[in-house]
Structure 1
């Protein structure tokens, strides 16, 4: 047996496969980095891309809004890099009372005070409070205009009332925008619900009955209308500065980019593609992918990122096994609603087109994957949660493998994806 372990929640699970069964291990192209996280952060701040240094942009007496991610993205280690950004602002003459932290929760749930403190870290938690953006609070939204795609852009009023908006976050592959980070801190991060839904509705194929839009996928920005729409929204907001990190396979900050919100982000996307865009020669009969453990597998909503990456490495009618504890359940009731209330993909698609939401789309997409593959989820979710989606939920990897072997035989060639939420397989001969 092989001694490989995969993350599941806050634990590690042994993978009971022999070397003969493992077709390959899909992991990041990370080289050894000799820089400390501090050195990476400071280097980015001292060498901004397409911009002055942050301390040269701000002036004493001005108000600065720092947009941070929510707790589902605590793996970004914002508690490590935020103190350096605050120090940079202080060098520019900005005082604590003129710094506001807004969490870009998008349409996610509200957070607890303890979670806010976790995001800020020990160095900042007693100096600042965090405001959760509320996409449904129309009184705290400012209308900025429409994009060329017809999306009405409404954004957090508190942020827009500041002299400067500073975007932070991490760059990873993203199922809709191509890459996360960058302009996503604005849309969906601090945008109104109507804005978010209008943008994300472009994830569906323009033709009814065709399901998901093939132009909207991880690692793709050319002809990606969601990406282009987000950029137009960001241009209306005019953020002053961006600071985004890139994580290695060990969950440490290996790179960072700072400066112009579009130019710096583009540089970061190239770094991520070099690291996590993994070339494979062919697809396999089965893929076993970890959602990277807690908090990336906190719910099924977050797990979809792993599903999207894993399906790129498996043959049609193959087996996908996803390890995701989902300690907080599905993550959004609308996922289960779109899955359990309809019996066909077409009925689900029609329902989403009538009343679109991101959560419904995620539920739909999961059923679309399950229609083409055997989809087994190792999770703490009750087995009946996703029955109508044809997603089989089991408690252990051993149960999942037994089920897979009954379909494909015990000699099934298998890819392992230890960091399934991050790594995007790319078949080279297609």
Structure 2
């Protein structure tokens, strides 16, 4: 057996040599169906011809057509995920906008709104890469959401159960036709990405985001990968959708090679649920036992461009890690740690230590910006020793709070050292896009 494994890293892969005395268990999705006739799949989904544009069999019993819902609209806003998600916008944005134009909506009344949440804006060539089709820029307005701009948001009140202030980008709320677009994949807080998550936190004000990313939300056991049942973020997101008056969604699923596997369109909650039902058959990977060593990735470009996003790869693997084990992760981090706010949060975590840091968070009704990612890191670091191979500058190493490497040979020697006396290593090449769990063989 080849002792090298290839892990997603930046725009390519990173080869990592494993010790020859261990038996690696490589954890991947099952082979997914692929739509090579992408144009037909997209048109089929948007026109609701009964096939949903999917590579799988079956479909929704609640079919709806963008062609029909656009007829009664005078304006439209399409929310798209920011550059951190490999959403195939180039496949569906133009067909969707053409339908809106054909329905009589003026091009000046159609907005493509980048759902940045509290991430940085996407501009210039990066924005063109994100949209993936210059035709879109030539025909409609493409703009970023800014979560700290008070004037850009409408205050819709407070959610009834957990008292979250609901402030959402007015360009989305006030549009006659509201469409969230995105990728449905595991998410380490909200269960699954896409759908309602594109609206909140994607288009939410900082007050909204900071409230439902506070310690109480983040520490809830139900706020976990691949779980929607009782998930407090998911439940608040659904309530926010109700408060804005509903929306529609274009949901996509891609395989490990970033090929289109599924696309649908419909009411945001039901269509997202259908996409989740599809993807969970592939992204949840059963294994027979826990491992003392797991080797994983930050999922490659665009997700692994910051240390902030790399935390998802750490958390994604913890359910199969034995307590006190070692987690080895590769993540390029070409843009560095992340935002200045995140740098401050990491400084706080490292200087206070995990226990004191979490005690500070417990006293805050609103989390400081990006503090929640530092809290999520503690879910992994409290269970295992974390080792990261990246291109981060050495001066940033202390702020990560983990064992850092910029040399693959040193990284490999650490894996070999940790593996002494052990036989099994788990390897997750795609990182947080695959969520392994220990399964009873009788399930």
Tell me if both proteins adopt one fold, taking TM over 0.5 as the criterion: yes
Q: Give how far 1:202 is off.
A: 5.6
CA distance in 1, matches of 2:402, 2:375: 12
CA distance in 1, matches of 2:385, 2:394: 15
Show the counterpart of 2:262.
255
Q: Is this contact kept in 1: 2:180–2:195, CA < 8 A?
A: yes
Residue 123 of structure 1 aligns to a residue whose secondary structure is: helix
Over 3 Å counting, the alpha-carbon distance change for 1:46 and 1:60 in structure 2 is closer
Long gaps (5+) in structure 2: 53-59
Is 2:209 the partner of 1:196? Answer: yes
Show the counterpart of 2:281.
274
CA distance in 2, matches of 1:416, 1:36: 32
Q: Is this contact kept in 1: 2:80–2:180, CA < 8 A?
A: yes
CA distance in 1, matches of 2:245, 2:38: 29
Residue 261 of structure 2 aligns to a residue whose secondary structure is: strand
Q: Give how far 1:368 is off.
A: 3.9
TM-score (normalised: structure 2):
0.89
Q: Give how far 1:405 is off.
A: 2.9
Q: Give how far 1:161 is off.
A: 2.4
Is 2:120 the partner of 1:99? Answer: no
Q: How does 1:195-344 map to 2 (within 5 A)?
A: 195-201=208-214, 203-204=216-217, 212-341=219-348, 342-344=351-353
Show the counterpart of 2:90.
79
Greater alpha carbon shift after TM alignment, 404-413 vs 25-34? 404-413
Over 3 Å counting, the alpha-carbon distance change for 1:410 and 1:359 in structure 2 is farther
Residue by residue over 1:116-137, the C-alpha shift from the partner in whole angstroms, topping out at 9 and shown as x without a partner, is 2222223323323321111111
Residue by residue over 1:281-311, the C-alpha shift from the partner in whole angstroms, topping out at 9 and shown as x without a partner, is 1121211112221211110121122111122
Residue 125 of structure 1 aligns to a residue whose secondary structure is: helix
Over 3 Å counting, the alpha-carbon distance change for 1:378 and 1:203 in structure 2 is farther
Residue by residue over 1:116-161, the C-alpha shift from the partner in whole angstroms, topping out at 9 and shown as x without a partner, is 2222223323323321111111112111121122011111112222
CA distance in 1, matches of 2:399, 2:333: 18
CA distance in 1, matches of 2:368, 2:226: 22
Q: How does 1:92-241 map to 2 (within 5 A)?
A: 92-120=103-131, 121-148=133-160, 149-201=162-214, 203-204=216-217, 212-241=219-248
Residue 12 of structure 1 aligns to a residue whose secondary structure is: strand
Q: Give how far 1:42 is off.
A: 2.4
Show the counterpart of 1:349.
358
Q: Is this contact kept in 1: 2:186–2:226, CA < 8 A?
A: yes
When the two chains are superposed, the root-mean-square deviation of aligned CA atoms in Å is 2.2
Q: Is this contact kept in 2: 1:367–1:389, CA < 8 A?
A: no
Show the counterpart of 2:16.
15
Residue 167 of structure 1 aligns to a residue whose secondary structure is: strand
Q: Is this contact kept in 1: 2:307–2:338, CA < 8 A?
A: yes
Residue 58 of structure 1 aligns to a residue whose secondary structure is: helix
Residue 262 of structure 1 aligns to a residue whose secondary structure is: helix
Q: Is this contact kept in 1: 2:24–2:426, CA < 8 A?
A: yes
Over 3 Å counting, the alpha-carbon distance change for 1:61 and 1:277 in structure 2 is closer
Long gaps (5+) in structure 1: 206-211
Q: Is this contact kept in 1: 2:220–2:232, CA < 8 A?
A: no
Residue by residue over 1:157-195, the C-alpha shift from the partner in whole angstroms, topping out at 9 and shown as x without a partner, is 122222111110110111111110010111001111101
Q: Is this contact kept in 1: 2:320–2:436, CA < 8 A?
A: yes
Is 2:368 the partner of 1:361? Answer: no
Kindly tell me the number of residue pairs found equivalent between the two proteins: 423
Greater alpha carbon shift after TM alignment, 107-116 vs 363-372? 363-372
Match 2:393 to one of 382, 391, 404? 382
Over 3 Å counting, the alpha-carbon distance change for 1:286 and 1:328 in structure 2 is same
